[in-house]
Structure 1
Amino acid sequence: MNIKAKNWMIPLIVTTLFGLQSEVVAAGERESLEEVRATTMSLIELLVQEGVLSKEKAQILLQQAQQAKLKAKNEADALAADNTQLPEKAVGQPKSIRVQYIPEHVKNEMRAEIEQDVMKKLNYKTEERLGLPEWIDRIEWTGALRLRYQQDMFSDTNAIPGTLNNEVQNMVVNNSTEDRQRQRVRALFGANIHINEWLNGGIRFTTGMLQTPVTPNQTEGFSQGKFVFGLDRAFLEAKPYDWLTLTGGRFANPFFTGNQTFGTDLIWDPDLAFDGFSAQANPNINKSWKLFSTVGAFPIEEVESSNTNKARDKWLYAAQGGIEWTSSNESKVKLGVAYYDFKNVEGERNPVNDSLKYAGTVALWRQKGNQTFSINDGTTNGNLCGSNGLCGLASQFQLINFTGEVDLAVFDPVHVILHGAYVQNIGFDQNEISRRTGNIYKKENEGYELSMMVGQPIIKKLHDWQVFGGYRRLEADAMLDGFTDSNFRLGGTDAKGFYVGAQYGVGKNAWLSSRYVSADEISGLPFSIDTFFVDFNGRF
């Protein structure tokens, strides 16, 4: 506590707690007054121990208290003598008590200083007693749990797995006709770390299969033993200016793709982590208008090139820009355009009798849908593609992506959100593909999505709710199939269909959600899947 606070506390104690010395009290109140004086004595002793008051000043206060006690006793005795001469109604009537007036701003200032001083000493004593380091206060723990029931329903007219695992689309599926029911779990646990005024960091662990970048779900079953728990986030985030954010490591998708709470992401899986570096600039034009932009470089797969391995590192270079408008009632309109350039992801054909030279061009992180070809010459497993051969992607991938969202808050807290997205792979070139693969492929390089949500944008508390629905169409080579939504036709491209769902809050940070997805193939062999999800979610 500083000197200013001390100088105010001394007269406050004297005038407020001992201000009764100039007043006359009734005999029935003497006991209560004695209790107040005893408490005050203890308070003075405590202030001396804490160093707030010196012993000299404390002695002055105690002397004043003793004088006040003596004066009050004399006045009380005089009052008892005078009461015999007062009218009957006047006897026993209490006198008013005067309390010195303290200005409100002085009270607030004193309160803040006292609170700061007390908390400082309390924290010091806590650290001294428990041995807690200072940095513990700069960590925010986060996490989420999700229990899921999932039912996959396959059409009876689907092609059998053997024909689906062909050279053109190489789906590599084990089942296409038998329905499947699963109980699944997802667990997320992480920490946001405040390092200093301009630098933050974060780590997060998640369940899921290690060989896929898109899904954190773990199918339950005794026979599996322990669940897999891996590092899914590890990043540093610098903010040299309020409008600029620089991020490096492994982190969440930095691009604007829509409201993720009801699954409006045409080309990216919502659980996909981005490795690499990104820079985001979000300057405000005025109160209503704001610009946003993101650029980044993201390694997909590092390849050890050599004289015998001519494959090169796979990268994604990306940029997005857009504008956001916010109305006086918090309604928003947000528009963005992005360019995604995937480098060295297309396959290269191996020379005759050399199955290793371009083996590294094969995409190991595929789901299904992209058009493929066998990179081996006809004399070396040329007719095999899939689990017994090597399939490369036929097309290059350079995407133009438009995303727009309208958030109507006129019925707040209920919102109406309209979402739309379009993507085109301008890297699809039939002549270039024919030269490299020797095959001719149909041009299927576009996709779009339209959706709507009504309700609270984020489920936070009891009785929050939302309902949503949408339609999606994503052609075979509109996007790399390895990074798309793993719930829509169980992942991949060459899919079209609709989804509907609802979410409801059952308590603070706890909610139920349900979704039904119906998706069919766009071209190629028949392969339709309907999927039903019921989730129980909790977060902290």
Structure 2
Amino acid sequence: MKRTVGVISLGMLLLPAMAAAADSWTDKVKLKGDFRYRHETIKVENRDTRNRHRIRARFGVEAKPIDNILVGLQLASGSADPVSTNESLDTGFSTKDIRLDLAYFDLSFKKAPGLNIVGGKIKNPYYKPGGTELIWDGDLNPEGGALKYSGKSGNVKFFTNLGGFWVEERGSDVDTGLFGAQGGVEFSFPDKKGSFTAGVTYYDYTNIQGQRPIFDTTKSFGNSVDGTGRYLYDYNLLELFGEMKINAGSFPIAVFVDYVKNVAGGGVVDNQGWLLGAKAGKLKDPGSVEFRYNYRNIEKDAVLGIFTDSDFIGGGTNGKGSELGMDVQLAKNFSAGASYFFNKLGTAAGADDYHRLQLDLMFKF
């Protein structure tokens, strides 16, 4: 009896300290996640129609061990594919894979506000007008380090993003890396009526010409290869972009353009890509909607095919066409969406048609 009373008394004495520790822990740690259920129909000219159901699940945690350092981890469904976290519902009710999608640190500086150094498997540090996927798929999380800086003077904001990444490490040959430098400026309109952003980016892939394709050595994702299946050209990309946003109350509008050219030389001909798009509306309160449309044309060697949008033309380069979509906020953390791609599998006349319909239910927590 005395022992029981002693344990209870000790617990009551420790309870305030435990509560304080819990409060401190919750202040430093943030949990988040999302789940998407998708029906997808794919129709390619002269081929059978494909129907499938797919899921995507992501769970992440962010912690601040000290005030100026953020550490983040995220797990996601999917295979090792760098541009997809989807899992198809097939293969006899088999269990599905969970993989490390993000693992990074983010260092900020009190004496240099606007400056951040990020390292690990990180979120894409580069500005993408309208969220365009002309160069980078939205699921791609590069591996390496980046320095980001933004500042403001009056109604003008400027930003710089520098990055160095390991694309392929080879034990018996030279490594392939990626270096990227981006600079841009955003002009805010009077009375917060909108803004205009413009910028330029240069990406340089090192030691890639003459190597087998990245990730899947048997597939070039549209890029030109020689007789042995190795990259025929180098990839040095020059990107120019612009985006205008108009704040029209609860129904904002954005128009954006993205242009890229592979300036590596060496005889590369099909080396340009461009995208023109618009968005209207914004998901916020239940009942809010967002519409989006873009048209793009991407030649064979404009970008590295493995890393571009995995939905447009089924992934890779050498295609053109439209993407049309809308989303509806049904409840606070629940939305539904639809996307339709009507594309051509090639940029020349007479290319086969490619159609893709996606119907989504999305949950956040």
Structure 2-normalised TM-score? 0.90
8 Å CA contact retained: 2:130, 2:278? no
| 2:334 paired residue number | 510
Q: 3-state SS of the aligned residue for 2:306? A: helix
- 1:524: Cα distance to partner? 9.8
Displacement after TM superposition at 1:525 (Å) = 8.9
Structure 1 segment 164-203 matched on structure 2, within 5 A? 177-203=47-73
Partner-residue secondary structure (3-state), 1:223: coil
Q: Which residue of 2 aligns with 1:451?
A: 277
| Alpha carbons of structure 1 residues 245 and 444: separation in structure 2 relative to 1, 3 Å | same
1:298 correspondence with 2:165: yes
2:138 aligned partner: 270
Displacement of 1:484: 0.4
Alignment correspondent of 1:397: 235
Give 1:363 deviation, angstroms. Answer: 2.9
Structure showing greater Rg: 1
State the AA in 2 paired with 1:225: S
Where 2:122 maps in the other structure, the secondary structure is: strand
What's the counterpart of residue 79 of structure 2? 209
Report the secondary structure of 1:259's partner residue.
helix
- CA change 1:525–1:396 in 2 (3 A) is farther
3-state DSSP of counterpart to 2:313: helix
Cα separation, 1, equivalents of 2:207 and 2:187: 38
Determine if contact 1:238/1:246 at 8 Å carries over to the other structure: yes
* Distance in structure 2 (CA, Å) of the matches to 1:421 and 1:129: 52
Q: Which runs of 5+ in 1 are unaligned?
A: 1-121, 157-176, 306-310, 349-360, 376-390, 431-441
SS at match of 2:66: coil
Give 3-state SS (helix, strand or coil) of 2:126's partner. coil
Maintained 8 Å contact 2:330/2:336: yes
Structure 1 residue corresponding to 2:207, chosen from 313, 333, 344: 344
**Residue 259 of structure 1: CA displacement?**
2.8
1:18-37 paired onto structure 2 within 5 Å: none
Query: Aligned pair in 2 of structure 1 residues 314, 335: CA closer, same or farther (>3 Å)?
Result: same
Q: Which residue of 1 aligns with 2:226?
A: 373
Query: What is the count of residue pairs matched by the alignment?
Result: 348
User: Is the counterpart of residue 519 in structure 1 residue 343 in structure 2?
Assistant: yes
SS in structure 2 of the partner of residue 195 of structure 1 = strand
The answer for the alignment partner of 2:148 in structure 1 is 280
Q: Which residue of 1 aligns with 2:43?
A: 153
The structure with the largest helix share of the pair is: 1
Q: For residues 44-83 of structure 1, what are the alpha-carbon distances to aligned partners after superposition, in whole Å with 9 as ceiling and x for unaligned?
A: xxxxxxxxxxxxxxxxxxxxxxxxxxxxxxxxxxxxxxxx
Counterpart-to-counterpart distance in 2, 1:534 and 1:367: 29
Q: Tell me, yes or no, if the aligned pair for 1:347 and 1:362 is still in contact at 8 Å.
A: no
Secondary structure class of the residue paired with 1:282: strand
Equivalent of residue 238 in structure 1, options 107, 121, 137? 107
Identity %: 26
CA-to-aligned-CA distance 1:350-383 (integer Å, 9 cap, x gap): xxxxxxxxxxx443345621111133xxxxxxxx
Q: 1:452 is paired with a residue of what secondary structure?
A: strand
| Larger relative contact order, structure 1 or 2 (CA cutoff 8 Å, min sep 6) | 2
TM-superposed deviation, 1:302: 0.6
Partners of 1:232 and 1:527 in 2: how far apart? 34
CA shift at 1:527, angstroms? 4.1
Does 321-330 or 334-343 show the bigger shift? 321-330
CA distance in 2: counterparts of 1:192 and 1:142, whole angstroms: 8
AA paired with 2:108? Answer: K
Supply the AA of the counterpart residue of 2:39.
Answer: Y
Amino acid aligned to 2:233: S
Cα distance in 1 for partners of 2:16, 2:87 equals 41
Question: Is residue 2:112 matched to residue 1:220?
Answer: no
- Provide the alpha-carbon RMSD of the alignment: 2.1
Q: Residues 461 and 510 of structure 1 are in contact (CA less than 8 Å); yes or no, is this contact kept in structure 2?
A: no
**Contact 2:28–2:64 under 8 Å retained in 1:** yes
SS of aligned partner of 1:482:
helix
The residue that corresponds to 1:489 in the other structure is 313
**What secondary structure, in the 3-state scheme, does the structure 2 residue paired with 1:393 have?**
coil
Q: Please list the CA deviations of residues 383-411 of structure 1 after superposition, one character each: whole Å capped at 9, or x if unmatched.
A: xxxxxxxx1111100000011110100x2
8 A Cα contact 2:168 2:214, kept in partner: no
Give the unaligned 5+ runs of structure 2. 1-11
Q: Which residue of 2 aligns with 1:314?
A: 176
2:226 aligned counterpart, secondary structure: strand
Instruction: Give me the whole-angstrom Cα distance separating, in 1, the residues matched to 2:130 and 2:284.
Output: 15
The letter for the 1-side match of 2:362 is N
> 1:196, CA displacement in angstroms?
1.4
Report what 1:358 is aligned to: none
> d(CA) in 1 for partners of 2:136 and 2:38?
21
CA–CA distance in 2 between the matches of 1:367 and 1:147? 29
TM-score by length of 1: 0.62
Of 133, 138, 163, the residue aligned with 2:28 is 138
Whichever residue aligns with residue 246 of structure 2, its letter is L
Structure 1 residues 401, 224: CA separation in 2 closer, same or farther (over 3 Å shift)?
farther
Q: Are the equivalent residues in 1 in contact too, given 2:130–2:255 (CA < 8 A)?
A: no
Counterpart Cα distance in 2 of 1:333 and 1:259: 12
Letter in 1 for 2:334: A
Other-structure match for 2:9:
none
**Equivalent in the alignment of 1:82:** none
Residue 477 of structure 1: CA displacement?
0.1
In structure 2, what is the equivalent of residue 86 of structure 1? none
Tell me the alpha carbon deviations over residues 225-245 of structure 1, each in whole angstroms, 9 at most, x when there is no partner: 111100010000000122101
Give the AA of the match of 2:214.
Answer: A
How many angstroms does 1:224 deviate by?
5.1
Report the Cα distance in structure 2 between the residues aligned to 1:524 and 1:364, rounded to whole angstroms. 31
Deviations 1:149-181 (A, max 9, x none): 10000112xxxxxxxxxxxxxxxxxxxx11100
